Amino acid sequence: MEKGITKLLDKDGFRANVAIVLSDGQGHVLWAKRLGQDAWQFPQGGVDINETAEQALYRELYEEIGLQAGDVELMQSSKRWLRYKIPPAMQRKGKTPICVGQKQKWFFLRLTGEASKIRLDATSSPEFDAWQWVHYWHPLAAVVTFKRGVYRAALKEFSGQNRRLELAIHSGGT
């Protein structure tokens, strides 16, 4: 959710951001469609000033998909911040400082509550108008090209955790 100067930009012009990979625990992840667009992505949002990445995670989780901390289990976070540049034609003009891209802390969550709790209209300014469960690796082929590198890095880093969840389901565990 964009709030102008309340978001953190580093000295290189990258905005601190969190990205959420929400798993159903069965090899599928939540894939959301941007409001009024044919653009799909993982939920993500900026880190506010005086907010930790984990605090931003739970705020964005609610703002974007209506879930509370009690509805999910935090399985893993990325070891480092992952960066991508926004193509110059897509950068917002006339704003200072200029945001040239995102640096993201990624979080892999497992839904522990009911999927019926997912709400895209939890706040007065929704960012998505549809969502679906997709195969774990689907986003790599479906996300906008300039984000593919960070998606690949995050999904690769979380793939072991995803595999453990799948194996637990198939062996009767949770």
Q: Give 119-148 pLDDT, tens digit per residue.
A: 999 999 999 999 999 999 999 999 999 999
pLDDT band at residue 153 under the 50/70/90 scheme: very high
Percent of the chain with pLDDT over 90: 76
Residue 33 has pLDDT above 90, yes or no: yes
pLDDT band at residue 172 under the 50/70/90 scheme: low
Residue 26 has pLDDT above 60, yes or no: yes
The pLDDT of residue 8 is: 79
The four Cα atoms 49, 130, 39, 138 give a dihedral, to 10 degrees, of 100
We report the CATH number of the domain holding residue 24 as 3.90.79.10
Give the domain extent around 135. 4-170
Task: Round the average pLDDT of the chain to a whole number and report it.
Answer: 91
Query: How far apart (Å, rounded) are the C-alpha atoms in residues 147 and 137?
Result: 14
The total number of structural domains in the chain stands at 1
**Which residues, including other chains, have CB under 8 Å from residue 136's CB and lie 6 or more apart?**
23, 27, 28, 29, 155, 159, 162
